[in-house]
Amino acid sequence: MGAGERRRLACTTCRGIVDRFNQGLADTAKKNFGGGNTAWEEKTLSKYESSEIRLVEITENLCDSSNFECNNMVEEHEEHIEKWWFKLKKKYPDLFKWFCIETLEVCCPPGTYGPDCLACRGGSERPCHGNGRCDGDGTRGGDGTCSCNKEYTGEFCLDCSNGYYSSLRNDTHSVCTACHTACKTCTGSSNKDCQDCKEGWIKNEETACVDLDECASSPCKDEQYCLNTDGSFSCKACDASCVGCTGEGSDKCKTCASGYTKEDEKCTDTDECNLSEKVCTKENEDCVNTPGSYKCVCSEGFEDKDGTCVQTVKTGKEVETETTEPSHTEHEDL
């Protein structure tokens, strides 16, 4: 860990301690207070308010036991905290400022950075002109440079990034707004304000960037159709019933695939099993129609053996089942 990184961590640790201290203050605020308004209660409360008991209760919970840096810092600066509690908290009510910035000198005021708390780029009032983050802001680390939000660029986050244009600019403020989706760079909000078109867009006669119809140049494969979209295009698979197509579905085929016939402008599956000429010609064979084809399978009770359908040989168990007494319902069927 570098020195700058250690300084950042020290500030984070100190901030955590102060946050827990303030939480402790809130948690103990109503303690020993019955909710009534008796003089006795008022007196007890005001006594407890600045008591050592309350301080101990709060400081006990400043760190998680596993947080080495935190426990170390509290231990090392316990006296400072006590001094602030008993003598200084009226004069310096902001514990973070007094403890972390001014006493321990591990943090800096907001908008400043580094060992000497110098102002961030663009000034401590609005670091990076409010359009980015100042490196080390509020800590004794960092170098004060700006990391700009995506809309902004430049040392001070005043300039606009590619794809954004300046919609407001004065001495103190700079606002960059997104270009039209068709523009790579632009001077205004519409697609007529593009300097360069984004990929997939092209300048028309009115010099506006408009969608390029990539499908006009037939970029897809034989078994695909082209779908033009704003700024892009895609190639999609034709329906299984087509050989080549102009769009989605069996009604957009150029020609029908084998096993399909054109019917009502659609490529429809041919039912080979219903043709006048039988397609399954072997003995004990049935025809099963499938999309785009058909299958010849052995009839029930027969099985394929070396290309012919032979009667299924029953196993001993099946024979046994068949020879048992017919059940009541079977009997009724007879």
**What is the smallest separation between the CB atom of 199 and Ca ion, expressed in angstroms?**
10
Among 32, 145, 228, 289, binds Ca ion (CB under 5 A): 228
- If the CB atoms of residues 210 and 240 are measured against Ca ion, the closer one turns out to be 210
**What is the smallest separation between the CB atom of 211 and Ca ion, expressed in angstroms?**
4
**What sign has the CA pseudo-torsion 206, 212, 216, 217?**
positive
Pairwise CA distance, residues 208 & 2, whole Å: 52
Among 135, 151, 211, 239, binds Ca ion (CB under 5 A): 211
- If the CB atoms of residues 84 and 233 are measured against Ca ion, the closer one turns out to be 233
- If the CB atoms of residues 107 and 208 are measured against Ca ion, the closer one turns out to be 208
What's the DSSP call for residue 19? H
- If the CB atoms of residues 225 and 233 are measured against Ca ion, the closer one turns out to be 233
- If the CB atoms of residues 28 and 228 are measured against Ca ion, the closer one turns out to be 228
Structure tokens, 224: 């695909």
Contact 98, 106 (CB under 8 A): no
- Part in contact with Ca ion (CB under 5 A); list of ranges 60-68, 108-116, 203-211, 324-332: 203-211
- Part in contact with Ca ion (CB under 5 A); list of ranges 82-90, 118-126, 186-194, 208-216: 208-216
Region at 117 (left for phi over 0; alpha for psi -120 to 50; beta for the rest): left
* Contacts by residues 288-295 (CB-CB < 8 Å, ≥ 24 positions apart): 291/240, 291/259, 292/240, 292/241, 292/257, 292/258, 292/259, 292/260, 293/259
Quick check: 209 binds Ca ion (CB under 5 A)? no
- Count interface residues toward Ca ion (CB under 5 A): 3
- If the CB atoms of residues 72 and 204 are measured against Ca ion, the closer one turns out to be 204
Site for Ca ion in 231-270 (CB under 5 A): 233
Mapping DSSP to helix (H, G, I), strand (E, B) and coil, where does residue 74 land?
helix
Pairwise CA distance, residues 202 & 199, whole Å: 8
The footprint of Ca ion (CB under 5 A) covers 211, 228, 233
